[in-house]
Amino acid sequence: MDIITHKCPNCGGALTFDPSDQKFHCPYCFSIFTEQEVTDFEEKQKEATMQNEAPPVTDEHSESPPENTMSLFLCPSCGAEIVTDETTAATYCYFCHNPVVLSGRLSGDFLPNKVLPFKIEKEEAVKQFLAWTKKKWFVPPYFFDQSQIEKLTGVYFPYWVVNANGQGELSGTGTTLRIWRVGEIEYTETKQFAVERQGNIQFNDLVKNALSKNTQQKMVESVQPFPIDQAIDFKNQYLAGFQAEKRDIEYQTLSENVKKELTEYGESILRNSVNGYTNFRQSNSQLTLEKIDKQYMLLPVWLVTYRNKQDSDTIFYYAMNGQTGKVSGVLPISYKRLGLVTGGIFAVIAILLMIGGYFI
């Protein structure tokens, strides 16, 4: 498997992608490059390497080692060991802190169709994280201390993005009632109408999780939607400086649920198009999906999680859409702070009651 650190063409330092200008920065010589410049440089380096390499020796009787839950790699910059689980596709070396991309995990059948690059840089993400948490009165202070800020990580999560076309029809009976009075007499007029609806429906950008270990689905579902129309053709350079996960949920396992979700949504659109009646009784509804187009994409999320020491099964989190800045989270509660505030409120109420009783 290829382990890549995208190198600066000028000094050889490790490049990282900067969301603020959508370019690649070298922290050593401060050079800045476009994606095309990095790609051209790496293509030339690859051609030169291939010309100087001897053909590999193969062993027809060798067997591939079984894939383990955890994998070990060597950092191409310092040689230190990098341990990852089987879905990690980009991470950092914990010793030299250089970003590395495990390109073999994002190739072949696992090559993403598109990637939506980060637009919000870490400094802005940290600023919004602190502003958001400090508005929560009962959050313990350790949740937004320096150690938590350092855990704020940009992660590309894998998703299936589905577009589809459907043809639907609906029929039923619509009833209208009109009531009026003339003198002492009340009149009621009832009319019934045969109602039919037919139409073509286009579904765009249904986003479905493609990572089984992403058990905290709310972490990323709650920061949707993503501006899918701004996604670009995948190149692993955009992963430099971030973490990334590869999919381990194939579309085939989701297809029936996707069809059901699209069908139910399409039928609800048809029902909602029936209006102007006092009531409507549906007799038939059908939606046929004619074309389903799926794409495998990596979408950006800034994320920090915290596991409660008293209750290790509870995971608190803060998540931010790496493109739009939409935030969501479930935060721990400081019962000490809550008790002090509650006690203070009761004390104020008691004092007011005493003062009120004194003047009565």
- pLDDT at site 224: 87
Q: What is the DSSP letter of 36?
A: H
Contact residues for 279 (Cβ-Cβ < 8 A; gap 6+): 174, 175
- Helix (H) / strand (E) element for 257: namely helix 251-272
Cα(65)–Cα(212) distance, integer angstroms:
23
- The token pair that represents 282 in the structure block: 């549906």
- The token pair that represents 16 in the structure block: 């990282």
CB neighbour class for 166 (10 Å; exposed up to 12, middle 13-18, buried from 19):
buried
Q: Quote helix, strand, coil % in the chain, to nearest 5.
A: 30, 35, 35
- The token pair that represents 354 in the structure block: 């005493």
**Sign of the CA dihedral running 220, 322, 102, 110:** positive
What's the distance, CA 125 to chain centroid? 15
Contact residues for 50 (Cβ-Cβ < 8 A; gap 6+): none
- The token pair that represents 66 in the structure block: 């079984």
Q: Which residues pair with 73 in a beta bridge?
A: 82
CB 114 within 8 A of CB 295: yes
CB 321 within 8 A of CB 116: no
Going through 42-144 in order, the beta strands assigned E by DSSP cover: 70-74, 81-85, 88-92, 99-102, 114-115
CB 275 within 8 A of CB 185: no
- pLDDT at site 127: 87
In whole angstroms, how large is the CA radius of gyration of the chain? 29
Contact residues for 77 (Cβ-Cβ < 8 A; gap 6+): 5, 14, 93, 96, 98, 100
Q: Which residues pair with 245 in a beta bridge?
A: 88
Contact residues for 20 (Cβ-Cβ < 8 A; gap 6+): 121
Q: Return the HEC string of 269-298.
A: HHHHCCCCCCEEEEEEEEEEEEEEEEEEEE
CB 72 within 8 A of CB 82: yes
Of residues 282, 289, 281, the one with CA closest to residue 265: 289
- pLDDT at site 339: 47
Residue located via tokens 């971030």 = 242
Of residues 234, 241, 6, 5, the one with CA closest to residue 107: 234
- pLDDT at site 350: 53
Separation of first and last alpha carbons in the chain: 84
Per-residue pLDDT of the chain (360 residues; tens, 9 = 90+): 567 778 888 877 788 899 989 999 988 777 899 999 998 888 887 777 666 554 444 443 333 333 445 666 777 777 776 777 788 888 877 667 677 888 788 888 899 999 999 999 988 988 888 787 776 655 666 666 666 677 788 999 999 999 999 999 999 999 999 999 998 899 999 999 999 999 899 999 999 989 887 555 556 678 889 999 999 999 988 998 898 989 989 999 999 999 999 999 999 999 999 988 999 999 998 899 988 999 999 999 998 877 665 555 666 778 899 999 998 877 665 445 444 444 455 555 555 555 655 444
Instruction: State how far the alpha carbon of 189 is from the alpha carbons of 70, 148, 178, in Å.
Output: 74, 68, 5
Of residues 261, 243, 248, the one with CA closest to residue 207: 261
- Nearest 5°: the CA angle 209, 3, 220 is 20
Cα(306)–Cα(304) distance, integer angstroms:
7
